[in-house]
Amino acid sequence: MFRFSSKTVAVITNLSGKSLVITPKCFISGKTFRSTAKAVKPAPYPYETKKYGLLQAFFDKTMKRIDENSKVILVEGPLAVGKSKFAKELADELEMKYIPEANMDLYYVNNYGYDMRKLDAELPENCRSFDVNNFLKDPTHFNAASFQLLMYTLRYSQYVDALAHLLSTGQGVVLDRSVYSDFVFMEAMFNSGYISKGARSVYHEIKNNTITELLRPHLVVYLDAPVSVVKDKIKARNNPNEVNSKALTDKYLTDLDTIYKQNFLKDISAHADLLVYDWSAGGDTEVVVEDIERLDFSQYEGDLSIKKLKDWRFPQEWDWCEARIKFCNDKDELMNYFNIPRYDVPELLRNAEESKKYKEVWFNAPGMKYDVGYNEDLGDKGLITKNKMFAPKF
C-alpha cells in the first residue's frame, strides 16, 4: 500500500489538462516506507538539558517537527505475554522511541547510580524500600499500598517525559504499559484484599487530580492471552519470585484480565484507536505494523464533537507550543498535583520520629545531599557558573 508523508502534496493532471492538488491522509508509516520518503525536519530540541519556555517558543516552533509518526502508542496486556519484546520491535519498525515499563529502579537508583535500597537497615520498617519482588512475596504488607501509589507516580512522570520527547523532537513513542492502565493493578489488589478501602480511595483521588493534565494516546495495542496461558508463561520464564508468588493467585490474575477488558479497554477506546491480538502463542510484529499502517487518524480531525483523539486537536501553532512548554518546562508543577493531604489511611502515614530518621538517612546518601549537578564530591563541575538546575531523574 503506497502512502504519502503527511506533509506531501501531490499534483496530478486530469484528462482535461487541469491540475489538481491532492493532500493525502495521514497514516503511520513503517521504516521501509519512511526510508524512501524522508522529510526534512529540524534537529531534535535538547529538552532534557535546555529550558523550553515562552521565549524559546517564539523562536522554536513545534508543528514543523510533527509528522505522521508523531504518535503515542501504548502496548498493554497481561503478565508474561511478551509485551516488552513486541514493544521494542514495534518501536524499531516505526522508528519511534521505545520507553520500557516503569519499575522501582527509577525511584530507588538515583542519578549517580546509588541504590537507595542499601539504606534499608538504617530506616524504620515502614520507610524501607518495597518493590515488585517484595509485593510478589508479601502482597498484604502495609507498604503494598504506597508501592502501587509510587508506581502510578513513576508511570505518570514517564508519560510526561514521553510527551515532552514527542513535542520536542517529533519522534513518536511506544510505551510498554502506561499510567492509563495502572489502575487495573490497584483494583485487582483491592479485590484480593492486598490493600485497604482507604488506600484505594487515596489512589483514585490522586489519579482524578492528575491524569486529566495529560494527552491521551493515539493508539493502544493490546496483546491478549487467557489466564491459563498466562500462568503457563509465568512458569516458563521461571522467575522464582513469580513462580512462588503469594500475590499471583488465580483470582488476582483473573481480576487483572477482567478489569483490563471491561474497564481499561472500554474507556481508552473512546479516545484512542485500539488493536487487539491473541498473543497466546506470540505473534508477528510485521503483521501488526501492517495493520497500524492502515489506520487513518485523519478521519477524526474534521468533527470537533468526536471524542477520539480530541486531545491532539491543536488548531494553532501556539497551542502546540503551549503544550510543549507544559510538558517540557512545567513538570514540577504537574507533579505537585500529587500533593493531596489525607490523614485517614494509617498505612500511608509516618509519625514525626520516622520522618525525621528517614530524612537524616535518605538525604545524606551519596548524590542526595544537593540537587542533581551540584554534588561536587561525586564529580559535578562548574557549580559557580550553573544558572539552571539539572532535570531530576524523578
User: What is the rounded distance in angstroms from the CA atom of residue 216 to the CA atom of residue 213?
Assistant: 9
Could you write out the DSSP letters of every residue in 78-117? Answer: STTSSHHHHHHHHHHHTT-EEEPPP-THHHHB-TTS-BGG
Decide if pLDDT at 278 tops 80.
yes
Report CA 269 to chain centroid distance, whole Å. 17
For residue 280, give the DSSP letter: B
CB atoms within 10 A of CB 236: 10
The one-letter code for the residue type at 265 is L
pLDDT at 251: 98
Residue 329 pLDDT exceeds 50: yes
Residue 63 lies in a domain: yes
Rg (CA), the chain: 23
Query: Which pLDDT score, from 0 to 100, does residue 23 have?
Result: 35
Q: Kindly give the pairing relationship between strand 173-176 and strand 97-99.
A: parallel
35 vs 200, which has greater pLDDT? Answer: 200
In-domain check, residue 370: no
Residue among 168, 152, 138 at smallest CA distance from 61: 168
- Overall domain count for the chain: 1
- At residue 40 the predicted structure's pLDDT band, cuts being 50, 70 and 90, is confident
Nearest to 96 by CA among 23, 22, 215, 176: 176
Query: Could you tell me the CATH number of the domain that includes residue 217?
Result: 3.40.50.300
| Residue 379 covered by a domain | no
381 domain residue, yes or no: no
pLDDT digits (tens, 9 = 90+) for 136-146: 999 999 999 99
Look at the chain and count its residues.
Answer: 394
Cell numbers placing 258: 477482567
CA–CA gap between residue 336 and residue 352 (Å, rounded)? 22
Is 103 among the domain residues? Answer: yes
Whether 1 is in a domain gets the answer no
Burial status of residue 222 (CB atoms within 10 A of its CB: 0-12, 13-18, 19 or more):
buried
Neighbours of 12 (CB within 10 A): 9
Q: Which domain holds residue 67?
A: 10-365
Mean pLDDT, residues 97-104: 97
Element (H, E) at 12: strand 10-13
- pLDDT tens digit sequence for 194-237: 999 999 999 999 999 999 999 999 999 999 999 999 999 999 99
Q: Is residue 246 scored above 60 in pLDDT?
A: yes
For strand 97-99 and strand 219-224, is the pairing parallel, antiparallel, or unpaired?
Answer: unpaired
Q: What is the pLDDT of residue 7?
A: 37
pLDDT at 16 over 70: no
Crossing angle of helices 285-293/83-93, nearest 10°? 50
pLDDT of 35 reads 63
Residue 33 predicted with pLDDT over 90:
no
311 within domain boundaries: yes
Asked, for residue 373, whether it belongs to a domain, the answer is no
